[in-house]
Homo-oligomer: A and B are copies of this chain.
Amino acid sequence: MNETLRVAVIGAGRMGADHIQRLSRRIHGAEVAAVVDVDLARARAAIEGIPDAVALADAEEALNNGDVNAVLIATPGFLHEDILLRALEQDLPILCEKPLTPDAASAWRIVQAEEKLGRKRIQVGFMRRYDAEYAKLGELVQNKDMGELLMLHCAHRNPDTPPGFTNAMLITDSVVHEFDAIRFLTGEEITSVQVRLGKATKNAPQGQHDPQHVLIETSSGVLADVEIYVNARFGYEVATQASFEDGIVNIGGDSGPYVRRAGRWGGEVTPSFIERFGTAYDVEVQAWVDAAARGGIGGPSAWDGYATAACCEAGVQAQKSGEKVNVRLNPKPDLYS
């Protein structure tokens, strides 16, 4: 657990660049060792400010680099197979952005190669499984606390699509997440898919029929449906409503997850500051670590500590007297201005 992961990131586009920042700034125990992009200038830009990282134009070279001991694949899907097979040969840990590969036949070849290797090396980037609301809904399905899950109504909405986004990509690039989420939530394989095409928005680029209504069944008969709507303009939304025997649960809504059950709607109250401010603590400490490494501070100063101490003194006095108590501060030293 102690060896730092030296990761080669393959692909420095939007997702790749995002993962590079993550690995080199927020993730504990990993560093970016190499960035590969056919556009070498883009690879070079991506490693700026990252010590000991190299920019390369060729994935092969990265895999052969002795400094690399892990691979994160963020290229377009049709390029995945070769890199995956090569990285498996070298027995490297692999995080592969979805899709694993664009079709079932090539994906099956990957599965077979990994099976032959005899241990799991590939993790696929279905990040929704790490979203707190999906995780919670998954638990509710598994523990049968609300009875059996019966139906899932999903919506996947994007404001618009990048150039070159084809009609098939509504399924392979967007609904693919719903496929995995439904499998994750139900713990079952999907057995059939149907697509309804109805009235289409005028806001879609030519060639796209948008929105579409996708009907899905799982092995136990759970019915799911997905509204995939990728030119929805208003914003981004990924939401699911689950109908159980004993109630209804929504996740992904703008106003938070909530449950309807036994005559009540609502959710769980945050139990303590740890849950409420956990992320804030992470951000705080990271800000301090980053600033401290540069010789400064990254947040509230000693002056802030002093000023609030003076407020507290006044507050305690006010608590006793019931009167209004003025807060008096010394002049602020220049250091804090």
Contact = CB atoms under 8 A, between A and B. Distances in A.
A214 B311 CA distance: 12
A218 to B, nearest CB: 8
Contacts of A130: 280-281, 283-284, 287, 299
A45 B11 CA distance: 42
- Contact-size category for A: 35 or more
Contact of A192 (B123, B217, B271, B325): B325
A183 to B, nearest CB: 6
A270 B199 contact: no
Contact of A95 (B176, B196, B288, B329): B288
A71 to B, nearest CB: 10
A311 B225 contact: no
B263 A307 contact: no
Interface in A14-40: 18-19, 22-30
Contacts of A168: 316, 319
A153 interface: yes
A63 to B, nearest CB: 15
A202 B290 CA distance: 42
Given A119-B335, A122-B305, A319-B212, A329 B189 contact: yes
A235 B270 contact: yes
Nearest to A312: B172
B222 A199 contact: yes
A3 B302 contact: no
Contacts of A76: none
B237 A313 contact: no
A215 interface: yes
A100 interface: yes
Given A267-B266, A313-B103, A273 B233 contact: no
The 5 closest A-B pairs by CB, nearest first: A266-B266, A100-B305, A235-B269, A93-B292, A198-B223
